[in-house]
Amino acid sequence: MKEKGFSPEIRSVEIYDTTLRDGAQSHDVSFSVEDKLRIVLKLDDLGVHCIEGGWPGANPKDTEFFRTARKLKLDNARIAAFGATHHPAKTPESDKIFQELLMSEAPVVTVFGKSWDLHVTDALGINLEKNLEIIRRSIEYLKQRVDRVIYDAEHFFDGYKNNPEYTMRALAAAAEGGADIIVLCDTNGGTLPDEVSVMTARVNSMFSISLGIHAHNDSECAVANSLAAVEHGAVQVQGTVNGLGERCGNANLISLIPDLVLKKGYSCIPEGNLVYLKDVSRFVSEMANHTHFKRQPFVGDSAFAHKGGIHVSAILKNSATYEHIRPEQVGNSQKVLLSDQAGKSNVLWKARDFGVELSENSPQLKEIVSKLKYLENEGYDYGAAEASFELVMRRSLGQHVTHFELIEYHVVSGKRRDGSMTSEATVRMTVGGREEHTAATGDGPVNALDNAMRKALYETYPVLQDVKLVDYKVRVLSTGEGTTARVRVLIESSNGSEKWNTIGVSENIIEASWQALSDSVEYRLLLEERDFLQKSTRSIHSYV
């Protein structure tokens, strides 16, 4: 061991991503080989230094990944293969699983070994000296054959608390074997930041070798622990995108990276690449088949969303009043939400977003705020249905004329003898000065109603044929009992290039659906009118 003090001049931190290995061990995640390859390319574009691809030989999927990943042309990252030190009853040469690490042809190999004496005696069932020899021989063997060897000191912090002398000897064995970096692992995730600080500083003062940190989130401290380790000498942080991982997950790189760069002044990914963070986060959520966590720091849809009127009033003057960074720095954007807590500032902000002329002194502003609060109290949630709120605003200002008027609708659902379901809807409405009376069937009552309404509108408004229903959600509101409770229907629609959300609320699910469907159609026609006006304006400017 060599005495070494922490050098505050070290301002660069290596990012080691283990989404494809530790992250893939989440109980609700299963990446295909193609998923993993696509994630590698995204992480490489972000600028991470090392991407742990999996455990070659552990399963066919990981073996296939390494075979395919060799062909990838990466600009920033190097692929790492992960595995354990060799089996106690074998040598590095005779251990087939250990040999798979070399067969992967990965330029970086990461192996974990036992640093906690409890695991040596109870899990491996060998004596303490034998374990030290396994660590030393495994790393020495690999270091002679691959470019870079990383040693993950499994259960380091728990081991240090139990038997610090032996845990430090385990690190010394890895250093003697020639490891390029020793990673201190909080494998059980139960260590707190103050403990990480003390123990990392102790190791850093005794070893000249570079240190890393691998933190799990079982105590909700993985990011804090990683930052504490860096502050006391660690030059590599291991983690996963969105904090995926076993049990409660790993340190979330999507939070760690901006913390390191924007809060602490470290360099860890190429300058300017922070703007890709939200894109990478959402992409991995999609590959994992997860809904993106809207309250995730930095990149969540709610991370810079403001609801309270006082907050909105303040950020209109200076966004720093309620935002710790500029959202654009991490690829996010500021949002103002509409609710019964909204004030004039919220409505004025939305009017600006919608391109609606509305001044603070406008007599209609108070009316719109009052109407918003009344409707929110009735169960409408315009924060999730801004298209419907724009229609509310424009109607209040006399800027939107309804394109059709409902006379009546009827919906019938039934079940046939063979067990199949049937739904039929009829709609009578006034369209373009004439009455339309149509009928249509559908997969369900709402689909049948939608089909009948469109059938009545297509001749007058053929543009509606490009509207597709993307998502349909129903929520029972706690404003009644049993089947008399109100329901809220949220519909997401698209014309292929834009998406919009509309809402309906009623004790009757069909009526709530009708409100949301009719708003969706009205909004599509509003988009068409807006597009027409923009084209006309461009044509006039061109002519002039």
**Contact between 13 and 260 (Cβ < 8 Å):** yes
For 120-165, the three-class secondary structure string (H helix, E strand, C coil) is HHHHHCCCHHHHHHHHHHHHHHHHCCCCEEEEEEECHHHHHHHCHH
CATH number of the domain located at residue range(s) 14-270 in this protein: 3.20.20.70
Measured on CA atoms in the order 38, 43, 44, 49, is the torsion positive or negative?
negative
Structure tokens at 392: 């509310």
Rounded distance between C-alpha atoms, residue 182 and residue 133, angstroms: 16
Q: Where are the domains of the chain?
A: 14-270
For the chain, residues with pLDDT lower than 50 are 1-8, 10, 540-541, 543-544
Contact 278, 299 (CB under 8 A): yes
What's the pLDDT at 190? 97
What pLDDT, on a 0 to 100 scale, did the predictor assign at position 530?
A: 81
Are the C-beta atoms of residues 88 and 124 closer than 8 Å to each other? yes
* Three-state DSSP state, 53: strand
Closest by CA position to 270, among listed 9, 15, 8, 10? 15
- Write down the pLDDT at residue 295: 95
Q: At what angle do helices 509-543 and 445-457 cross, to 10 degrees?
A: 40
What's residue 335's pLDDT? 74
Give the helix/strand (H/E) hosting 48.
Answer: none
Tokens of 121: 């005696």
**Model confidence pLDDT, tens digit, residues 132-153:** 999 999 999 999 999 999 999 9
Instruction: Tell me what pLDDT residue 481 has.
Output: 54
Residue 12 has a pLDDT of 95
- Say how far apart CA 110 and CA 80 lie, in whole Å: 7
CA atoms within 13 A on the CB side of 531: 9
What pLDDT sits at residue 480? 53
